[in-house]
Structure 1
Amino acid sequence: MRIKTKGFKKRTSVDEALKILLSHTPLPSIEEIGISRGLNRVLACDILANIDVPPFDRAAMDGYAVRAEDTFGASQTNPIYLKVAGEVKIGEAKEIEVKPNEAIKIATGAPLPKGANAVLMYEYTRELDEEIEVLKPVTPGKNVSFKGEDVKKGEILLKKGRILKPHDIGLLASFGIEKIKVYRRAKVGIISTGDELVNLGEKLSEGKIYESNSYMLASLVKTSNSIPERKGIVKDNKEEIKKAIKEALSNDVIIITGGTSVGKRDLVPEIIAEIGKILVHGISLRPGEPTGFGVIEDKIIFMLPGNPVACFVAFETLIRPMLQKMQGLSLMAYSHYLVAKGILKRKIPSEIGRRDFVRVKFDGKYVEPIRVSGAGILSTLVRADGFVIVPENLEGFEEGEEVEVRLFHNYFPAP
């Protein structure tokens, strides 16, 4: 087949591949959900305050609601006496008024009675039978939360594109907002191909390995706030792979691993070219050169190498940014990793025109490459503290150079 014989004589740069991919990525769609399901979802529109908060003037401290001017001049040696004319508890709406030279006992959060303009804390009073001694004056507005002081009706509470956190959900509830519009999460079908693969729980025979890529990819999809669907193992058979792909078209995105290079048994590119269109095949990325993607019935389908580290790199480099766009998020590759700087203990070689993803150890000061090659050795990711990106315009980094490390152990799980 023509697809096999041309190989990777022309590799697409990462930036160009991403540009092509995002130009074919569908715009985010919107759904309405209850706020109890809103954690980590992305707002599709601004949320406006429908009420003032607080909705009334209220006490910010336990004490006495007073007219501040009635307390002026009070001191320990020259107390002022005020009559206690009642009490307001939290949750009550009493028709009660503070008159001159009166005080009303009040709880934190209770509505401020008419006539009052301050709350005198208990600590600055001495209780008598039906009155109090005021031992310190208060100024107007002291210890009062005024209506709309926190948020005024009509103000923007939460902006479009915000990823909702627990305190955001609480804020929405405090305004009585039950439903919100969010971007729909993408459904991602994951297919693993290869005659050598067996399912977990099955006995390994000679030449076989356990299928692991779909578990890793499903976890990565979840950290992208999307919904994975593992479709199982498909043998290296053209008709079976074609059938599995067609069945997976019920998803928004398809990821297929294995069979993506240019060997005789690498059937996936040939199948996608038959039933759809290949957009990119072969990327200047190490590990991950055999990565590609295309379109079938307006659905993006990714061809990822069977090597697990290459799978991981291709996901973070291409698939996560696409899933971000589908949820209305800004696109910043690798932005969910904390970045630290360190000094290289030995050289990292590369070549101009290729982006390298190098697994490294990092002790807080020094950076030591674990290996550049070895895309099939998943344990190197587990042993690594993070990774260093060698950009396309460099031939590597020299020993002693300061480099940026994106850290695994301080990885920010995306929503």
Structure 2
Amino acid sequence: MPTPQRTASTDVRMRGFTQRSEVGTAWAWIDAHTPPLATEPATLGDAIGRVLGQDVVAPIAVPEFDRAAMDGYALRGGDTTGASDYNALEFPVLGEAWPGRPFEGATPAGSAVRIMTGSPVPPGLDAVVPAEYASEHGGRVTITHAVAPSQHVGRIGEDIARGSTVLAAGRRLRPQDLGLVASLGLAQLQLVRQPRVRLLVTGNEVRPPGEPKGPYEIYDANSLTLRGLLARDGGLLESHQRLGDDPQRIAQALAAPGADVVLVSGGSSVGAEDHAPRLLATLGELAIHGVAMRPSSPAGMGRIGEALVFLLPGNPVSCLCAYDFFAGRAIRRLGGRATDWPYRAATATVARKIVSQVGRVDYVRVKLGEAGVEPLALSGASVLSSTTRADGFVVAPAESEGYGPGAQVTVYLYECP
């Protein structure tokens, strides 16, 4: 799929788009420029949710010794043959074994050792009779249950063999994964570096929440949305800057080193104050500007040096949509994560027609009811509350005119992970 060529002379302000790239073209460009970042060492406490940069190989076996899996009495399994409620067997108790404190005496045939869960099984003994099948009096234990050799004993390497690969590179780490690594005595892992993300907010009319504003000014909603999204996708906020519509400040913030990804909120369209596309083309490469989708058609992307730059429309729903389609994909890929949508998906039946148009991708906010999926009646790109009233969204592909009642669709659900 060819990538549109842009030049430093590209300036669509007050002219409009003469062409729009397909969503697939934008994805192909992103995928071509987002190899996983280099690896770095990190402590286990900082590893949850991150991606392994190299295989984890077990330096030890787990367990490293034969250990009791039950509280009871260690003995030879063969010595218990025939034991039952009607044929109790009796053994002398030579001592006891505790976790970290093994029994160190001799264990002749026909003897037992009191043992606790996790304790080393004494040499020569090979099974554990659970405490509920035993009673001890005067230094002797009576058992009423036979056990086979190795029963209720965790053998050396039974969980993890020394030298085995226990976690493969590319895995996103869960809490139980880190517990397993800790059981091997490892304190650090090599992880894919998290992308550093710079967030630039443009617009003279935009004010931070909590500060006074004029009657025609607006509060900055996009920053909080984007900060939550990039954290969800494994990005690290490098800086957050509100720049107004000053071209010089925007240019300096775009070109400054230190970020892997730069997100520009607002100023991406064709208005007289939409400076970011022209500045990106001047400072680096404006690869794509204008995408055949609704909302988010003014979205754009390019590069300045090694940093990827994403131009996100200022309308809140368009900003969310453009992030999820493009910037989020790049951040996930750079951090070693999958490109899949980071939403739980469900299949549902369309209850009321979802309208789309051939030639563009539609991001349709929907409600889920007893009758099925219904698009929200109000779907403007500035109506952020539509994303809080919606249960999720449906993506209508460019080759589709939408979905009629009865059609089966995939709904991506807005819910906390």
Same-fold call, TM > 0.5?
Answer: yes
Counterpart CA distance in 1 for 2:141 and 2:34 is 71
Equivalence for 2:270: 262
Q: Contact 1:358/1:372 (CA < 8 Å) preserved in 2? A: no
Equivalence for 2:376: 370
- Quick one: which of 86, 89, 102 aligns to 2:95? 86
Say which is worse superposed, 85-94 or 179-188, in terms of deviation.
85-94
CA RMSD of aligned residues (A): 1.7
- Quick one: which of 304, 307, 318 aligns to 1:299? 307
Percent identity reads: 37
1:392 and 2:401 correspond: no
- Quick one: which of 151, 156, 159 aligns to 2:165? 156
Equivalence for 2:112: 103
Change in 2 beyond 3 A, CA 1:2/1:33: closer
Equivalence for 1:320: 328
Q: Report the residue type matching 1:271 in the other structure.
A: L
Equivalence for 1:42: 51
- Quick one: which of 127, 144, 153 aligns to 2:136? 127
Counterpart CA distance in 2 for 1:142 and 1:165 is 31
Q: Contact 1:126/1:135 (CA < 8 Å) preserved in 2? A: no
Counterpart CA distance in 2 for 1:2 and 1:56 is 70
1:276 and 2:284 correspond: yes
> Which runs of 5 or more structure 1 residues have no equivalent in the other structure?
none
Q: Report the residue type matching 1:223 in the other structure.
A: R
Equivalent pairs counted in the alignment come to: 408
Counterpart CA distance in 2 for 1:7 and 1:223 is 34
Counterpart CA distance in 1 for 2:33 and 2:150 is 58
Say which is worse superposed, 394-403 or 1-10, in terms of deviation.
1-10
* TM-score, normalised with respect to structure 2: 0.94
Q: How far has the Cα of 1:24 moved from its partner?
A: 2.2
Change in 2 beyond 3 A, CA 1:407/1:2: closer
Equivalence for 2:366: 360
1:349 and 2:355 correspond: yes
Counterpart CA distance in 1 for 2:334 and 2:355 is 36
Q: Report the residue type matching 1:139 in the other structure.
A: A
Instruction: For residues 109-155 of structure 1, give each alpha carbon's deviation from its aligned partner in whole angstroms, at most 9, with x where no partner exists.
Output: 11001111111122222323121222222111111111111110011
Q: Contact 1:11/1:282 (CA < 8 Å) preserved in 2? A: yes
Counterpart CA distance in 2 for 1:112 and 1:74 is 21
Q: Contact 2:263/2:310 (CA < 8 Å) preserved in 1? A: yes
Q: How far has the Cα of 1:365 moved from its partner?
A: 4.8
Q: Report the residue type matching 1:262 in the other structure.
A: V
Q: Report the residue type matching 1:86 in the other structure.
A: G
Say which is worse superposed, 308-317 or 262-271, in terms of deviation.
262-271
- Quick one: which of 316, 319, 325 aligns to 1:311? 319
Q: Report the residue type matching 1:107 in the other structure.
A: M
> Which runs of 5 or more structure 2 residues have no equivalent in the other structure?
1-8
Counterpart CA distance in 2 for 1:52 and 1:362 is 50
Structure 1: 4+ residue segments shifted above 3 A:
none
1:65 and 2:74 correspond: yes
Q: How far has the Cα of 1:235 moved from its partner?
A: 2.1
Equivalence for 1:18: 27
- Quick one: which of 154, 167, 170 aligns to 2:179? 170
Q: Report the residue type matching 2:258 in the other structure.
A: S
Equivalence for 1:184: 193
Q: Contact 2:95/2:103 (CA < 8 Å) preserved in 1? A: no
